[in-house]
Amino acid sequence: MTAGAPRPKVGAVVLTMNDRPEEFPRAMASLLAQQGVDLDVVVVGNGCRPAQVPAGVRTIELPENVGIPEGRNVGAAAVTDDRDYLFFFDNDAVLPAADALARLATELDYDARLAYVQPRITDPNSGVTQRRWVPRLKSSDPTRPGTVTVMAEGVVLIRRSAFQAVGGWPGHFFLFHEGIDLAWRLWDRGYTGRYLPAVTVHHPATNPARHVTFYRLNARNRVWLARRNLPRVLIPFNLATWLALTLWRFRDRAALRASLSGLREGLRGGHGTRAPMSWRTVVQLTRCGRPPVV
């Protein structure tokens, strides 16, 4: 950002269930310490009244847990109208540098076709970046920047006009794969995404697969993702690839049963409005290293 230029206007959305009394204050402190941006922060209580919220931060209380993507949609709608960018921030993450958000916003300022930017996420203790945090198939080198076709939705900055143009997060997904769904729809509108590992965010390396519910929702949403976004001819290829990998990887019978249950649930319906991407988008995603059948 050049001297004298107006500061980027960022609306930040943080979800809470009041279940992280130590992590949440640290996350909020690091967010409010950001410099070089005009920041508007909204904390959404997903089925609770938000606690431990710093003074001056607006809050929304939802009577029930509507899931992560819909909770973020609610928060995004409450951000003041003059915000150009939306920052979605997990409540157990920490921005270790005070200029992290400004550096991400500068990337969006430079490139009008860029819809979202993601920093490198690292565990605060080990410094390790988990494979699932790197938004590309070849994730062995998490320090390599570049164009990406998916996102790690827990820490991402998105151009607000693009976010609104595609209808925001798929709220009915509740949890898992909403970032791929949003990224695909953004790409289909002619936008791109970028991974910026020079900007880092700390996030504890928890395992999302520790609950049986993970396997059911993960499988269901994989089906919904394909049925909502892919040309019909690609849907069976996408699901066959996922099923083959699932059968090869899983040795836990309970996890496998939950996955197959989710697969059946997804095939029964509930995926929402179908808006298949163009074949041009399929080609672009493939050229960028992630064909939408993987």
Q: Which of 157, 184, 202 is the last residue of a domain?
A: 202
Is 84 inside a domain boundary?
yes
d(CA 199, CA 122): 10
Is 76 inside a domain boundary?
yes
Pair (47, 184) in one structural domain: yes
No. of helices (H) and no. of strands (E), the chain: 9, 8
Pair (75, 217) in one structural domain: no
Pair (163, 266) in one structural domain: no
Residue 93 has a pLDDT of 97
Q: Which amino acid is it at 54?
A: P
Percent of the chain exceeding pLDDT 90 equals 85
The position carrying tokens 């605060």 is 124
Is 72 inside a domain boundary?
yes
Pair (66, 125) in one structural domain: yes
**β-strand 114-122 against 192-202: which pairing, if any?**
parallel
Asked if the model's pLDDT at residue 97 lies above 60, the reply is yes
The structural domain count of the chain equals 2
Asked if the model's pLDDT at residue 158 lies above 70, the reply is yes
Is 2 inside a domain boundary?
no
Pair (59, 100) in one structural domain: yes
Is 256 inside a domain boundary?
yes
Pair (45, 191) in one structural domain: yes
Residue 54 has a pLDDT of 97
Average pLDDT over residues 152-181: 97
Residue 89 has a pLDDT of 98
pTM, to two decimals: 0.95
Q: Which of 202, 236, 253 is the last residue of a domain?
A: 202
Domain boundaries, position 261: 209-276
Pair (23, 161) in one structural domain: yes
Least confident of 117-121, 195-199, 251-255, 290-294: 251-255
Could you please report the per-residue DSSP string of 147-184? EESS--TTEEEEEHHHHHHTTSS-GGG-SSSHHHHHHH
Domain of 148: which CATH number?
Answer: 3.90.550.10
Ranges of H-type helices in the chain: 23-32, 68-78, 100-110, 160-165, 178-188, 212-229, 235-249, 253-268, 279-287
Is 291 inside a domain boundary?
no
Asked if the model's pLDDT at residue 1 lies above 60, the reply is no
Is 219 inside a domain boundary?
yes
Asked if the model's pLDDT at residue 247 lies above 90, the reply is no
Q: How confident is residue 211, by pLDDT bands cut at 50, 70 and 90?
A: confident
The position carrying tokens 């939802």 is 62
Q: Which of 160, 175, 202 is the last residue of a domain?
A: 202
Asked if the model's pLDDT at residue 83 lies above 90, the reply is yes
Intra-chain end-to-end CA distance of the chain, in Å: 37
Q: How confident is the model over 177-186, as pLDDT tens digits?
A: 999 999 999 9
Quick one: DSSP state of residue 55?
T
Burial class (CB within 10 angstroms; exposed 0-12, middle 13-18, buried 19+) of 94: buried
Pair (105, 179) in one structural domain: yes
Pair (183, 250) in one structural domain: no
Q: How confident is residue 208, by pLDDT bands cut at 50, 70 and 90?
A: low
Average pLDDT over residues 66-91: 98
Pair (154, 213) in one structural domain: no
Q: How confident is residue 224, by pLDDT bands cut at 50, 70 and 90?
A: very high
Average pLDDT over residues 55-80: 97
Is 57 inside a domain boundary?
yes
Pair (76, 215) in one structural domain: no
**β-strand 114-122 against 9-16: which pairing, if any?**
unpaired
Average pLDDT over residues 110-118: 97
Asked if the model's pLDDT at residue 210 lies above 90, the reply is no
- Which CA distances in Å does 14 have to 79, 109, 177, 229? 11, 23, 18, 27
Pair (218, 151) in one structural domain: no
Residue 209 has a pLDDT of 59
Asked if the model's pLDDT at residue 236 lies above 80, the reply is yes
